[in-house]
Amino acid sequence: MRDNQSRVDVKQLRLQLAANLRQGVNPYLPGWEYVPDGEPYVYDDRVYVYGSHDHFGGYEYCQNDYVCWSAPTADLGNWRYEGVIYPRDADPLNPDGDMLLFAPDVTRGADGRYYLFYVLDKLGVVSVAVSPQPAGPFEFYGHVHYPDGSLLGETAADEPQFDPGVLFEHGKLYLYTGFCMPDNPRRHGAMVTVLDPDLLTVAVKPAFVVPSASYADGTGFEGHAFFEASSIRKINGAYYFVYSSVLSHELCYAVSASPLGPFKYMGTLVSNCDLFIDSYKPAARPMYYGGNNHGSLVQVNDDWYVFYHRHTNGCNFSRQGCIEKVRILPDGSIPQVSMTSCGPQAEPLRGEGAYPAYIACSLYCATEAMTVGKPGDWMDCRFPRITQDQPDGQEGLSYIANMRAGAVAGFRFFDCQGIRRLTVCTRGGKGELLVKTAWDGKALGGVAVGGNNEWRAFTAGIQIPDGLQSLYFEYQGSGNLSFAAFSLETD
């Protein structure tokens, strides 16, 4: 990638990119993997992440079987695929596999086994599977039920179950569930149900712990009422309830001295369009195309992280997991963190070598928009999107497509030292990629690109100031540019 223009061997490019990806980036899994709704846990010096599993190019959420990925606690850039841990047709209520596996959660029981809690998309009941290992495979165990055998979620007094979050403590299982559209007063909020040690039988009936929008007035949750995505963690003796608010794009948290509440609203952990962040741009300006959000907190060695997901392919149904490091302050509060390209890193990415464009943490165009919109809106030709050419589940090259005049891809952060040249790998379009170190900054220079139907590398002499830097690539030109990678080079 040293000439003004050269052909690109995609296989060789992927090998070049792999070296820098091993540092740990966002998304933390390979660019062709789509595991949203991440619930991370540390078991025996490995971080295991459990989530739903989207189908790239799919028509609905969570079309694939559950899979698991894990990484050593000492290296969050080294994720290992653990395989399919639970197929859709394993539940006796879904023998033909027609229903979807929505967001799960996992806990280790008193017997040392691992219990997977989940809800199928057509049913409002909670199912449980079990495995002797954290990475499965899991086998069906039972459905959560009342002592008389009736299923939780099916009696007249029940609200439907959804997105289980679980905490096992002192022989009891605390099960948090709920789904509350903001305009539905029949849904009261997030619920907690206490289960017996068998992890199936209801010991204490559901009680509401965080209000829906219809019941938030005067509670402290106004504007950030419960929508979905229940998750629970115990931190320094307090119980942190993580959830997605009625704003959808944000993960909020509430804290209580008891797993049964009452919970006090504390704030936003992360937004997948970076709303409310004012450290590098105006607080009200979205910097990525947001959508629903789901995730949780985990301690890895001495550090805490929030797991969340972003939307790709210009639609709701191809979501990828991301990580950001968070700070828990002495008073127990957690300041909101911004989206970055170097998520699992305690340090910025190396300012040298090749990086894939799909690790962009900012993506927008001249038409400001906060969400990916309704299903099918990816057909709107204004908006750039992260995508891939290969079918779902196959390794390949992910990239940014549909960059038209005014489209911007931003990357945060790099440790830049002596960078004098930039090479970009693009396809289509014809114009220039301007390079900035701030979203509203002056261009340091540009790389002439375009006119090619296959991937080509284009190089220009551009000096990046030394130090901690963000990089923003703004396309100005005609047509529709695809952006696969860039390389930071010294002379």
Q: Which of 23-32, 356-365, 373-382 has the lowest mean pLDDT?
A: 373-382
Q: Is 355 exposed, middle or buried (0-12, 13-18, 19+ CB in 10 A)?
A: buried
Please, which pLDDT band fits residue 8 given cuts at 50, 70 and 90?
confident
Place of tokens 């039972």: 142
pLDDT at 375 over 60: no
Please provide the DSSP assignment of 270-306 as one string: EETT-TT--SSS-TT---S-B-----EEEEETTEEEE
SS3 state at 417: coil
pLDDT at 300 over 60: yes
pLDDT at 3: 46
Please, which pLDDT band fits residue 374 given cuts at 50, 70 and 90?
low
Strand pairing partners for 356? 485
Contacts of residue 379, Cβ cutoff 8 Å, sequence gap at least 6: none
pLDDT at 380 over 80: no
Distance CA 195, CA 152 (A): 11
| Structure-block tokens of residue 289 | 């195309």
Report which residue type is found at 63. Q
State the chain's mean pLDDT as an integer: 95
pTM over 0.85: yes
Q: Is 236 exposed, middle or buried (0-12, 13-18, 19+ CB in 10 A)?
A: exposed
Q: How many residues does the chain have?
A: 491
Please, which pLDDT band fits residue 1 given cuts at 50, 70 and 90?
very low
- Options 1.20.210.10, 2.60.120.260, 3.30.70.600, 3.40.50.300; CATH of 350-490: 2.60.120.260
Percentage of the chain beyond pLDDT 90 is 91
Distance CA 29, CA 194 (A): 34
Digit-coded pLDDT (tens) for 432-443:
999 999 999 999
So where are the chain's domains? Answer: 27-326, 350-490
Report which residue type is found at 22. R
Q: Do 483 and 357 touch, CB atoms closer than 8 A?
A: yes
- CA distances, 372 to each of 174, 234, 345, 439 (Å): 34, 33, 27, 20
Q: Per DSSP, which regions of 197-287 are E strands?
A: 202-211, 226-235, 238-245, 250-256, 264-271
Digit-coded pLDDT (tens) for 227-286:
999 999 999 999 999 999 999 999 999 999 999 999 999 999 999 999 999 999 999 999
- Residues annotated as catalytic are 37, 228
- Options 3.40.50.970, 2.115.10.20, 1.10.375.10, 3.90.950.20; CATH of 27-326: 2.115.10.20
Digit-coded pLDDT (tens) for 182-197:
999 999 999 999 999 9
Distance CA 386, CA 313 (A): 5
Contacts of residue 434, Cβ cutoff 8 Å, sequence gap at least 6: 443, 445, 446, 473, 474, 475, 476
